[in-house]
Amino acid sequence: MSTPEETSAEDAAWGEVTPEAARRLLVAAVDAFAERGYHATTTRDIAGRAGMSPAALYIHYKTKEELLHRISKIGHDRALYLLEAEADRDGTAAERLAGAVRSFVRWHAERHTTARVVQYELDALGPEHRTEIVELRRRSDAVVRRIISEGVRAGEFDVPDIPGTTLAVLSLCIDVARWFNAQGSRTPDEVGALYADLVLRMVGAPQRSQGPGVAQQ
């Protein structure tokens, strides 16, 4: 499913996971879950993809669900970190919202295989792990809602439905993971720039000129 270039881009996301064998197993699990789905994947498949024995897998992960939880936790932590870093910068609400969208979109494009697993296999998490992940998602939502609310209060944005617009902005960015194709015509940065512009329009922020004949103000 993923090309060698894509796989190495995905690999880079797991730098924090040690030892190396545990990292290799996570990368193998992401590929297997993305290709066949969580329920059709066995721990034996994952160990095989990582060039390891099932017994070696159990040293690092007790269950298949533990692998999914680890992937989901790292993915959601990263998404929240990226959003918070942009939200906490100096600048207008429009600059911070555009930065958050660019950064969040780039992550979902570059790590689209991981992001698909993280987004589509939530129901396979155990109850406790699911509660923890839902809380991380609630915090990501709150970061975006805060920037939009600040923009409205500052008179920069015109947003009749702040929770609904927050939901739509995050949904638009997350769905990049579904359609993004590393062999397609747009780079992650280009999609990020396009989406930052579209999101500023969604919140009614005055647009900068985008070329002859299309300036809005």
Give me the residues that bind its own copies (CB under 8 A), please: 1, 36-40, 119-120, 123, 158-161, 164-165, 167-168, 171-172, 174-176, 178-179, 186, 194-195, 197-198, 201-202, 204, 207, 210-211, 214, 216
DSSP 63: S
Identify which of residues 123 and 128 has a Cβ nearer to its own copies in the complex.
Answer: 123
Helix (H) or strand (E) holding 150: helix 127-153
Q: Could you give the C-alpha distances from 16 to 13, 21, 26, 100, 106, in angstroms and in order?
A: 8, 12, 12, 23, 20
CB of 36 to its own copies, least distance (A): 4
- SS3 state at 19: coil
Identify which of residues 172 and 182 has a Cβ nearer to its own copies in the complex.
Answer: 172
CB of 17 to its own copies, least distance (A): 25
Identify which of residues 17 and 202 has a Cβ nearer to its own copies in the complex.
Answer: 202
Identify which of residues 17 and 101 has a Cβ nearer to its own copies in the complex.
Answer: 101
Identify which of residues 171 and 183 has a Cβ nearer to its own copies in the complex.
Answer: 171
CB of 35 to its own copies, least distance (A): 8
Please give the radius of gyration of the chain, using alpha carbons only, rounded to the nearest integer. 19
Max CA distance (Å), the chain:
65
Identify which of residues 52 and 194 has a Cβ nearer to its own copies in the complex.
Answer: 194
List the one residue out of 124, 1, 37 whose CA is nearest residue 72.
124
Residue 19, preceding peptide bond in cis (omega within 30° of 0): yes
Half-sphere exposure for 177 (CA within 13 Å, toward CB):
21
CB of 85 to its own copies, least distance (A): 24
CB of 129 to its own copies, least distance (A): 18
Measured between alpha carbons, how far is 172 from 84 in angstroms, rounded to an integer?
18
- Is there a contact between 154 and 92 (Cβ–Cβ < 8 Å)? yes
CB of 149 to its own copies, least distance (A): 14
